[in-house]
Amino acid sequence: MSDNQVKFVLTERELPTHWINLMADLPPGAPPPLHPGTKQPAGPDDLAALFPLALILQEVSAEPEIEIPDQVRDVYRLWRPTPLYRARRLERELDTPAHIYYKYEGVSPAGSHKPNTAVAQAYENAQAGIRKLTTETGAGQWGSSLAFACRLFGLECEVWMVGSSYDQKPYRRSMMETWGATVHRSPSDLTEAGRSQREHPTGSLGIAISEAVEVAAQRSETNYSLGSVLNHVLLHQTVIGQEALVQMQMAGEEPDVVVGCVGGGSNFGGLAIPFLRRVLREQATTRFVAAEPAACPTLTRGVYAYDFGDTVGLTPLMPMYTLGHGFVPPPVHAGGLRYHGDSPLVCGLVRAGLVEPRAYRQNETFAAAVQFARTEGIIPAPEPAHAIRAAIEEAEAAREGGEPRVILFGLCGHGNFDLSAYDAYLAGELEDPEFSEEELAEALAGLPEAPALS
C-alpha cells in the first residue's frame, strides 16, 4: 500500500459475526442493578415489562461472545463495515508527529452509530411479537435510528424528544416522521411524568426516558428501547471496535490511546471494548480517554452511587457516576451527552482506573470540530466534537513532547442536522455554561436511599 493511504476499508464478508461481552472478562462482584421499590438485586423478571427476553439474556450474559443474528447482519450490510480514516490533513495542520485515526460511524442511514443497536433491538422485539417501541431521544440521532430500524422490522415507533433538541434540530423530527415514527416534544402532556416536569421546558434525557418508560410499562404489546447505558447496548456497539482492530492492523499501527465521547457510554464502549479486552487478557498497554461536556460532567464530577436511570424514578437503580437523577443539564448543543448518569460498565472501568475521563466546554469543542471540518471535510456532530477536542489535545502533547503517538478516536456521527449549533458558534453566540458546586449539591441531595458503593 502507498505510504499516503487515508481510508482503510473492509468488505462485507469481514463484518463481525459476534458481539463482544466485556462483562465476561471483568472480575466478578460488580454491584448489581437494584429494584426501585425493594432495593433488592433486580432480576430478569423485573425487566420483562419493558424488554424482550432475548435482550434481557444479553443484558445479564456471562458469555464472552454472542452471535449476531443473520437478519441483523443483513441490515448491517447497508452501511457496515464503516471506514477507518487516517487524519493526515489534521496531523499536518497540528504539525504533530502523532498519527491520528478515526472510525467513522456517520455513514449509517441515520448518520451515527446508533443504528448498530437499534437494528438489533427492533429485530429481537419483532421476534418476540411486540408491535410497538417507545423511546426518548436527545439529539435526535437515537430516535431517528430506532425509527429506521422499526420500519425495517414492521414495528410502530413513538419517540419523546428532549424539548431543547426538538427546537434546535427540527429536521431530526422530519427524519423520524419520514421513517414513520410519531414524535412528541418532551416534557409532554401525554404522560404523568411529563406533566410533573412542566417547570423544565427544555427537558432532559432523564425526563424523556420517564415518559417513554411510563407508556411502555402500561401496554403489553409495547416495549421500551434504550439507546445507551445498558450492557446489551454496549454489546451491540462492539462491531465498531472489532472492525477498527482489523483496520488498525491493515494500517500497520497499534493505538497508544483510544478516545471517545461519552453520553451514556455506548459509542465509547463500542469502540473501546475490543481494545480493552486485549488490555485485560493480553496486558496490552493502550490508554483510554472518555470525553464529556463540562456542562454535564458525570464522570469527572459525579458521585459513584446507586441512582435511577430516569428523572421520575421508574427504572432500576444503577451503580454509576451520577449528577443526580433530578439534574437537568443546561441546553448545550451536544444533546446526546445531556444525561445525568452513565453506563455502569463504563463507570466501573473509570473507577478501576482503566479509563481516564476529561470534560470540555462547549466553545472549545466547537473550535475543534471546525478545525476538523476545515481539514478532514466531515462536519462532526457536537457529541464527537468532544472526542476530537481530546484527540487534538493528545496530538498536541505528542508535539510538545517530541514523541510519536498513535491516536484512535470515534467519530460517531455527522453534524449535518446540527448546523444551527455551528451558526451560533461561528456568530460567537455559544455559551459555556458552568456546572456549579451548588447545582451539584442540590442534585445529589435527591439521590435515592440505597446501599453505599465502596
Ligand X SMILES: Cc1ncc(COP(=O)(O)O)c(C=O)c1O
Which residues of this protein are in contact with ligand X, per CB under 6 A? Answer: 112, 138-139, 141-142, 228, 261-268, 336-337, 381, 383-384, 412-413
36 with 289: CB under 8 angstroms? no
Pick between residue 167 and residue 254 the one whose CB is nearest to ligand X.
167
How far apart are alpha carbons 68 and 237 in whole angstroms? Answer: 11
Phi-psi region of 73 (alpha: psi -120 to 50; beta: other; left: phi over 0): alpha
187: preceding bond cis by omega (within 30 degrees) = yes
CA 137, 140, 145, 146 torsion: positive or negative?
Answer: positive
Q: Closest approach of Cβ 87 to ligand X, in Å?
A: 18
Pick between residue 99 and residue 114 the one whose CB is nearest to ligand X.
114
Q: Closest approach of Cβ 343 to ligand X, in Å?
A: 7
- If you count them, how many residues does the chain have? 454
Q: Closest approach of Cβ 227 to ligand X, in Å?
A: 6
Q: Closest approach of Cβ 79 to ligand X, in Å?
A: 15
How far apart are alpha carbons 111 and 443 in whole angstroms? Answer: 33
81: preceding bond cis by omega (within 30 degrees) = yes
Q: Which amino acid is at 450?
A: A
Neighbouring C-alpha atoms within 13 Å toward the C-beta of 209:
29
How far apart are alpha carbons 392 and 370 in whole angstroms? Answer: 12
Pick between residue 138 and residue 241 the one whose CB is nearest to ligand X.
138
Q: Closest approach of Cβ 267 to ligand X, in Å?
A: 3
How far apart are alpha carbons 161 and 138 in whole angstroms? Answer: 6
Pick between residue 96 and residue 144 the one whose CB is nearest to ligand X.
144
Q: Closest approach of Cβ 437 to ligand X, in Å?
A: 25
Q: Helix 53-60 vs helix 231-251: angle between axes, to the nearest 10 degrees?
A: 60
Q: Which amino acid is at 6?
A: V
194 with 136: CB under 8 angstroms? no
Single out the residue of 173, 172, 125, 174 nearest to residue 152, CA to CA: 125
What 3-state class would DSSP assign to 271? helix
Q: Closest approach of Cβ 167 to ligand X, in Å?
A: 16
Pick between residue 138 and residue 187 the one whose CB is nearest to ligand X.
138
Pick between residue 141 and residue 186 the one whose CB is nearest to ligand X.
141
Pick between residue 91 and residue 360 the one whose CB is nearest to ligand X.
360
Q: Closest approach of Cβ 232 to ligand X, in Å?
A: 13
Cell of residue 85, nine digits: 480514516
Pick between residue 209 and residue 398 the one whose CB is nearest to ligand X.
209
Q: Closest approach of Cβ 175 to ligand X, in Å?
A: 12
Q: By beta-carbon distance, which residue lies closest to ligand X? A: 336
Task: Give the DSSP letter string of 113-157.
Answer: STHHHHHHHHHHHHHTT--EEEEEESSSHHHHHHHHHHHHTT-EE
Single out the residue of 205, 50, 68 nearest to residue 133, CA to CA: 50
Q: Which amino acid is at 412?
A: C
Pick between residue 21 and residue 267 the one whose CB is nearest to ligand X.
267
Q: Kindly calculate the radius of gyration of the chain based on its CA atoms and give it in whole angstroms.
A: 20
Helix ranges (H only) for 252-361 are 266-282, 298-301, 344-351
Q: Closest approach of Cβ 40 to ligand X, in Å?
A: 28
Pick between residue 31 and residue 265 the one whose CB is nearest to ligand X.
265
Q: Closest approach of Cβ 336 to ligand X, in Å?
A: 2
Pick between residue 99 and residue 103 the one whose CB is nearest to ligand X.
103
